[in-house]
């Protein structure tokens, strides 16, 4: 018998728990807004793996209850161009939260539409492996290769950038794979940096965490 149910004392340790709590004070808090995506929980996992305090919150959460250093608007099932009312309070968060926001997939498309751009059904959908080409390294792709493998899962895409936004990357079948606002810390990614198969996904999340940290100091 490899374990003896009568000898379980070795698991009664509290010291590890105390050490963990004492380091939380210096940790960033970035919440994941759940828009019904398959990889929303992965977004939470990556943030947790990068030592960020994170929680998944419904997209109906009132703005006043949000205490965070940054927000990730997750991917989702809603076809944003057709049923944007399923995106809950994402519009309010973008307008009033005053912290850096990263929109992923549906989150990115919604951000574009909400701020005066356009999103529409893609001519060619992208599922799984795609090659993404960086047009502008900026702060999100700093130090990363010009071309990387990214994992997609979208039927729609951003077809027109909002005013004050620039495109940072594209793929053969999707012109706007990444975008950022030049006047506020708002970012959008069409692909999914949070899945295992996207190259340098963790690095991109770390870049966003650094942006949140800098914004916090300012």
> What are the start-end ranges of the H helices in the chain?
15-23, 40-49, 90-96, 106-114, 201-217
Q: What's the half-sphere exposure (Cβ side, CA atoms, 13 Å) at 63?
A: 11
DSSP state of 182: S
Tokens of 64: 């006043």
Contacts of another protein in 83-112 (CB under 8 A): 86
Q: In angstroms, rounded to a whole number, what is the distance separating the alpha carbons of residues 187 and 167?
A: 10
| Closer residue to another protein (CB): 18 or 218 | 18
User: Does 21 participate in binding another protein (rule CB under 8 A)?
Assistant: no
Query: What angle separates helix 40-49 from helix 201-217, to the nearest 10 degrees?
Result: 70
Binding mask 146-185 for another protein (x = CB under 8 A): -----x-x--------------------------------
List the interface residues with another protein, window 36-75 (CB under 8 A): 36-42, 45, 48-49, 58-59
Q: In the bound complex, what is the minimum distance in angstroms from residue 40's beta carbon to another protein?
A: 8
Q: How far is the CB of 198 from another protein (least distance, A)?
A: 8
Q: Is 128 in the site for another protein (CB under 8 A)?
A: yes
Gyration radius of the chain over CA positions: 19
- Is 18 an interacting residue with respect to another protein (CB under 8 A)? no
Counting contacts by CB under 8 A, is residue 4 touching another protein? yes
Residue length of the chain: 218
Should residue 3 be labelled a site residue for another protein when binding is judged by CB under 8 A?
Answer: yes
160 DSSP β-pair partners: 118
Exactly one of 132, 140, 195, 204 binds another protein (CB under 8 A); that residue is 195
Which of these ranges, 64-72, 109-117, 127-135, 158-166, lies near another protein under the rule CB under 8 A?
127-135
Name the residues annotated as catalytic. Answer: 105, 192, 194
Distance (Å, whole) CA 173 – CA 18: 50
Q: Are 156 and 120 in contact (CB under 8 A)?
A: yes
Q: Which residues bind another protein (CB under 8 A)?
A: 1-6, 8, 11, 13, 16-17, 20, 34-42, 45, 48-49, 58-59, 76-78, 86, 127-129, 151, 153, 195-197
């Amino acid at each position: 018998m490899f374990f003896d149910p009568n000898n379980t004392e070795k698991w009664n340790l509290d010291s590890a728990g105390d050490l963990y709590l004492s380091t939380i004070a210096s940790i960033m808090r970035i919440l994941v807004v759940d828009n019904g995506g398959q990889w929303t929980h992965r977004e939470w996992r990556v943030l947790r793996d990068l030592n960020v305090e994170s929680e998944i919150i419904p997209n109906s959460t009132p703005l006043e209850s949000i205490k965070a250093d940054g927000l990730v608007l997750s991917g989702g099932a809603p076809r944003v161009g057709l049923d944007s009312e399923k995106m809950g309070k994402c519009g309010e968060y973008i307008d009033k939260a005053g912290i850096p926001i990263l929109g992923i997939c549906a989150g990115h498309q919604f951000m574009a539409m909400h701020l005066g751009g356009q999103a529409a059904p893609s001519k060619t959908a992208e599922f799984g492996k795609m090659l993404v080409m960086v047009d502008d390294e900026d702060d999100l792709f700093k130090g990363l290769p010009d071309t990387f493998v990214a994992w997609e899962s979208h039927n729609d895409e951003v077809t027109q950038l909002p005013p004050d936004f620039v495109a940072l990357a594209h793929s053969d079948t999707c012109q706007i794979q990444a975008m950022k606002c030049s006047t506020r810390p708002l970012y959008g990614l069409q692909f999914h940096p949070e899945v295992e198969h996207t190259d340098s996904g963790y690095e991109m999340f770390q870049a966003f965490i650094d942006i949140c940290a800098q914004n916090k100091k300012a």
